[in-house]
Amino acid sequence: MSDERDDDRGTAGADGSTASDGEANSAGAGGEDAATADTAGAAGTAPESTGRRDRLERHPTPGTRNSLWSWPAAKSPLAVMRNYLVIVLARVSPSLRLKNWLLSRIGVTVGTGVAWGLESTPDVFWPERVTVGDDAIVGYDATLLCHEFLQAEYRLGDVVVEDRAMIGAGAVVLPGVTIGEGARVAANSLVADDVPPHTTVAGVPATVVSAKSGVDDD
């Protein structure tokens, strides 16, 4: 089991799941969002659009151990074993058609013409929460996570990759993130927030580095 790290690059869970620094520090502290909303209202500013953190489902876990110890109660071990075996086959399959067929069998919503690179991985616990749109590309060794196991709770969120979006090699997409139509994620990026359509993001955490000319990226 790897240690959970709280820094600007995110929190690494024991199973490879990640959470941003602010989330790890705010586990169980739900009052922070309310305070932020009150401050915005007092200043007369418009409320921000719903972000991935607002879309996450939070599940507190009992006892003194970290939440990963509670995974058998959260998801059937048999289902996880099945998912793992299917994903291992899909990761190494040279056939894109076979990859799409295998992943759709375990609940991944796979659009027409989706391309999964070698060793790309959807969430092994909740693959049914992953949606990949038509002609999208999930690059080599990229990971789409729908869960975060933290100390006192675990969190779930859907991952949506819209039509013709591209995710670079080694990138990690966190739970609750939507990658907009035609967007691009640079290799080895950590995607902790939604990616607007027709933009390119890069870095840890990923930020917008360019936008397609003539396209509104609001």
Residues 6+ apart with CB under 8 A from 66: 4, 14, 149, 150, 151, 152
What percent of the chain shows pLDDT beyond 70?
A: 75
Ramachandran region of residue 119, left (φ > 0), alpha (ψ -120 to 50) or beta? left
Instruction: Name the average pLDDT for the chain.
Output: 83
What pLDDT is recorded for position 163?
A: 98
Task: Provide the angle, in degrees to the nearest 10, between the axes of the packed helices 96-105 and 77-92.
Answer: 170
pLDDT at residue 164 is higher than 70: yes
Express each pLDDT in 62-118 by its tens digit: 889 999 999 999 999 999 999 999 999 999 999 999 999 999 999 999 999 999 999
Q: Do residues 141 and 171 make contact, with C-beta atoms less than 8 angstroms apart?
A: no
Q: How far apart are CA 209 and CA 121, in angstroms?
A: 25
Cis peptide before 205 (omega within 30 of 0): yes
pLDDT at residue 10 is higher than 60: no
**Residue range 150-167: average pLDDT?**
97
Name the band, by pLDDT with cuts 50, 70 and 90, for residue 9.
very low
The dihedral through the CA atoms of 85, 88, 93, 95 has a sign that is positive
pTM above 0.85, yes or no: no
What pLDDT is recorded for position 49?
A: 59
Name the band, by pLDDT with cuts 50, 70 and 90, for residue 50.
confident
> Which residue ranges form the domains of the chain, and what is each CATH number?
1-218 (2.160.10.10)
Cα–Cα distances in Å, from 189 out to 28, 39, 50, 155? 27, 32, 22, 21
Name the band, by pLDDT with cuts 50, 70 and 90, for residue 122.
very high
What pLDDT is recorded for position 214?
A: 54
